[in-house]
A and B are shown apart, each in its own frame.
Chain A
């Protein structure tokens, strides 16, 4: 899978490219519009990550040109602005997703994978970690064959963690994903929900699946790994 990252801030481009390469994507970086358009013409990409604030040719302009050329490649927009009106305008211009700086890399990765429809963003209807089973269609959760009743929010939280086993999610990421922007800054709500989730999912069982990564957040890990 080949990704074109169009980002003029070198350091942002560096860690995004590094992170994506670690996930075994091939990443090309373009620091400005004209170079990006040349690379687009030369090579077929599976995804474009596009920063809106570019010197010279703006991100919006690049977006329009790509779509004008009938190129249907998925485009994920990065921006430092987050006015809803602007978001709508860019979706209308053909963007597929939208992420506001400063974003969590894991969030970027989740969205990249979702856009590429592949791999560990398991589209599978049943997610498994250890003896925990999550049925995405029926929203039913079983552990060791026993059914566990969860509220909608608890289910959403568990699904987010289980879909990416082993990955650490910060509270902010969880809020951004499971709740909505209105809950920004309300990080203690995550702790409370995780505690309730644990009482149902982990406490009755000897192996703990939900782990607290101190100072960072939470992750779900199969019992087999330490």
Chain B
């Protein structure tokens, strides 16, 4: 999982925040419950202490201390209710202590001896055996006669703790469920919110310099993503305009250069044909003419690229056998290879039908073969092959020549790019051959890639879509075999 993705981060934050809130609410509810339960118990105990205090006052006023115990037993029955009552006189002697409760929840003797409190009424929790607690309230009483008593009432906190444990158990069960719901819901919401982003990304991925007229789908949702896709579309449009402008400029410029080049070429040629011309002048003018022709070649190349890139070539398309075209072209160029003692092998036996502009596709073969022969040393080898592979026509030209340095590989199809300027110029290249090849491949809905493992020469691989099979010419061809 990509932890840096917006989706992951949003869901993580969402779930963490929600879970945090649940934990806080749980803790707060636990605390409130605890304080209210304890508070209620304390209030009950204090009320009891006050009632017993009143009873003590009444008793000491009428019949003395002797019947206090009986009265308490009769009225409150602490042993039956599981309560603790203890009355201590001012001198520390014990007036009354409730008997052990029927349910044996505590032993009265366990309760620590009383301490004279600083205030009239206090409540505290005292430990019992087994880690249990008792809520003990203490009330100080002074009779009109001046005698002082300490009335203690207590109740074990087992019930309170049982309630709290139950609540805690409930929270522990519910909390993970809530967290899981938060995670699931968050992830669903985020996914739904980010789905258009995926769509936009996928569409944006499809748009290249070849189809800049396409636009991203705009969902009329009125949200930020609609704004984003509209903004992206505006950007694509500006890109489109910039590309069109540069294409138009290249076409216009190469077009405009033709007339001056025609004049230059024509004048130079007519001077060179002059019989009275001194040989050294002929040579110098010839050199100028050569450059004019090179210039004309560059203009021609740029014009071809701009036309191909603008997608104007489709009108001249026919169905043709790429294998035969490649073999015939290799044959036409065989002397070039022989001249350098280079072995050209051609593996193109089976017909491979593609659709395209015959002259342009031939130019692909010519340029690739010429390139391979140029950059292969004397006695080297060049292998040309055409085959059909997975609904693609594959044309490969491999050599065992000097190869292409790895850092130059990504740029070999760039206009005017030359790996070794001095060397290429000497060989007469303008640096347009491979970019023309690439433009032709792209215009034919194909692609080209160059690889060059160190020390093993270079390999150019062209992939073109196969022509739809089962046409008449195709069938006829199959019958011939």
Chain A residues with CB under 8 Å of chain B are: 9, 11-12, 15-16, 18-19, 22, 80-85, 101-106, 153, 167-168, 170-172, 179-189, 192-193, 195-196, 213-217
Q: SS class of chain B's interface: helix, strand, loop or mixed?
A: helix
Docked pose: A83 CA to B254 CA in angstroms: 14
Given contacts A15-B270, A168-B272, A215-B284, contact A101 B363 (CB under 8 A): no
Q: Which chain B positions have C-beta within 8 A of A12?
A: 259, 262-263, 266
When distances are taken between beta carbons in the complex, the residues of chain B under 8 Å from A180 are: 359, 362
Whether A192 contacts B335 by the Cβ 8 Å rule is yes
The 4 closest A-B pairs by CB, nearest first: A215-B286, A216-B286, A102-B262, A102-B261
Report A-chain residues with C-beta under 8 Å of the C-beta of B285: 215-216
Contact between A185 and B433 (Cβ–Cβ < 8 Å)?
yes
Which residues of chain B from 362 to 385 have any CB-CB distance to chain A below 8 Å in the complex? Answer: 362-363, 366, 370
Residue on B with the closest CB to A81?
B255
Measured between beta carbons, the chain A residues less than 8 angstroms from B301 are 185
With CB as the reference atom, state the residue of chain B lying closest to A217: B286
Alpha-carbon gap, A12 to B266, bound state (A): 8
**Distance in angstroms between the alpha carbons of A172 and B269 in the assembled complex:** 12
Closest chain A residue, CB of each to CB of B297: A185
Contact of B266 among A16, A188, A189, A195 (CB under 8 A): A16
Further contacts, 8 of them, CB under 8 A, given A102-B258, A185-B433: A9-B263, A15-B270, A19-B266, A22-B270, A83-B307, A85-B316, A185-B430, A189-B335
Q: Given A101, A105, A153, A192, which contacts B261 in the complex, CB threshold below 8 Å?
A: A101
Verify if B37 is at the interface (C-beta below 8 Å from A). Answer: no
Q: List 11 A-B contacts (CB under 8 A).
A: A12-B259, A15-B267, A83-B315, A153-B332, A153-B335, A167-B273, A170-B293, A182-B360, A189-B335, A192-B335, A215-B285
Distance, CA A171 to CA B332, complexed state (A): 17
B54 at the interface (CB under 8 A from A): no
Tell whether, in the assembled complex, residue B428 and residue A213 are in contact, meaning their CB atoms are under 8 Å apart: no
Which of B258, B329, B360, B428 has most chain A Cβ within 10 Å? B258
- With the chains together, A156 CA to B362 CA distance in Å? 20
Does B266 lie within 8 Å of A216, measured CB to CB? no
Chain B hits for A213, CB < 8 A: 272, 282, 286
Q: Which residue of B lies closest to A216 (CB)?
A: B286
How far does the alpha carbon of A102 sit from the alpha carbon of B297 in the complex, in Å? 10
Q: Is there contact, CB below 8 Å, between A182 and B266?
A: no
Complex Cα distance A19/B263, Å?
12
Please tell me if B212 contacts chain A, counting CB pairs below 8 Å. no
Q: Is the CB of B265 within 8 A of A102?
A: yes
Please, how many angstroms separate the alpha-carbon atoms of A156 and B389 in the complex?
Answer: 38
A215 to chain B: closest residue by CB: B286
- Smallest CB–CB gap between A19 and chain B, Å? 5
Which residues of B, 299-332, contact A by the 8 Å Cβ criterion? 300-301, 303, 307, 312, 315-316, 329, 332
Task: Establish whether residues A172 and B296, one from each chain, have CB atoms under 8 Å apart when the complex forms.
Answer: yes
Give the nearest-CB partner of B299 in chain A: A102
> How far, in whole Å, are A185 and B433 apart by their CA atoms in the complex?
9
Whole-angstrom distance from the CB of A50 to the nearest CB of chain B? Answer: 15
Q: What is the CA–CA distance of A153 and B335 in the complex, to the nearest angstrom?
A: 10
B457 CB → nearest A CB, Å = 20
Contacts of B259 in A (CB 8 A): 9, 12, 80, 101
B296 touches A102 (CB 8 A): yes
Q: Which residues of B contact A85 (CB under 8 A)?
A: 315-316
Residue B43 at the chain A interface, CB threshold 8 Å: no
Q: Bound complex: CA of A181 vs CA of B267, how far in Å?
A: 23
B290 contacts the other chain (Cβ, under 8 Å)?
yes
Interchain CA distance A216-B359 in the complex, whole Å: 27
Chain A residues with CB under 8 Å of B241's CB are none
Asked if B339 contacts A182 (CB within 8 A), the reply is no
Q: A84-B359, A168-B272, A179-B332 are in contact. Are A216 and B289 (CB under 8 A)?
A: yes
Q: How far is the CA of A188 from the CA of B259 in the complex (A)?
A: 26
Contact of A215 among B262, B290, B296 (CB under 8 A): B290
Inter-chain CA distance A18–B286, complex, in Å, is 20
**Alpha-carbon separation in the docked complex, A84 to B333 (Å):** 24
Measured in the bound complex, the distance between the Cα atoms of B480 and A47 in whole Å is 48
**What A residues does B363 contact at CB under 8 A?**
181-182, 184
**How far does the Cβ of B366 sit from chain A's closest Cβ, in whole Å?**
5
Given the complex, which residues of A lie within 8 Å of B366, measured CB to CB? Answer: 182-183, 186
Q: How far is the CA of A61 from the CA of B357 in the complex (A)?
A: 28
Q: In this complex, what residue of A is CB-closest to B316?
A: A84
On whether the beta carbons of B333 and A189 are closer than 8 Å, the reply is yes
Complex contact B266–A105 (CB within 8 A)? yes
- Does B158 sit at the interface, judged by CB under 8 A? no
Given A81-B255, A216-B289, CB of A103 within 8 Å of CB of B262 = yes
Task: Tell me the smallest distance from the CB of A215 to a CB of chain B, in Å.
Answer: 3
Chain A residue at minimal CB-CB distance from B370: A186
- By a CB distance below 8 angstroms, the chain B residues around A170 are 269, 289-290, 293
Q: Which residues of A contact B357 (CB under 8 A)?
A: 84
A182–B272 CA distance with the chains assembled, in angstroms = 27
Bound: A201/B421 CA distance, A: 37
Query: Considering only CB atoms, which chain B residue lies closest to A107 in the complex?
Result: B269
CA distance A85 to B359 in the complex (A): 13
B263 contacts A11, C-beta separation under 8 Å? yes
Q: Is B126 in the interface zone, CB < 8 Å from A?
A: no
